[in-house]
Structure 1
Amino acid sequence: MLRKRVYISGKVQGVAFRVYTRETAVKLGVTGWVRNLKDGRVEAVFEGEDEAVEQMLSWCREGSPHSRVEKIEVIDEPYRGEFPGFTIAATV
Structure 2
Amino acid sequence: MSEDVRLVAWVRGHVQGVGFRWFTRAKALEIGGLSGFALNLADGRVQVVAEGARDGCEGLLDWLQSDDTPGRVDGVTEIWDTPRGGYDGFAVR
Q: Normalization by structure 2: what TM-score?
A: 0.88
Q: 1:16 aligns with which of 16, 19, 34?
A: 19
Q: Secondary structure at the match of 1:80?
A: coil
Contact 1:15 1:64 in 2 (8 A): no
Deviations 1:46-81 (A, max 9, x none): 10111111000001112523x111110001122123
CA distance in 1, matches of 2:78, 2:59: 13
> So what's the TM-score if we normalise by structure 1?
0.89
The Cα RMSD (Å) is 1.1
Task: State the identity as a percent.
Answer: 38
Q: Which segments of 5 or more consecutive residues in structure 1 lack a partner in the other structure?
A: none
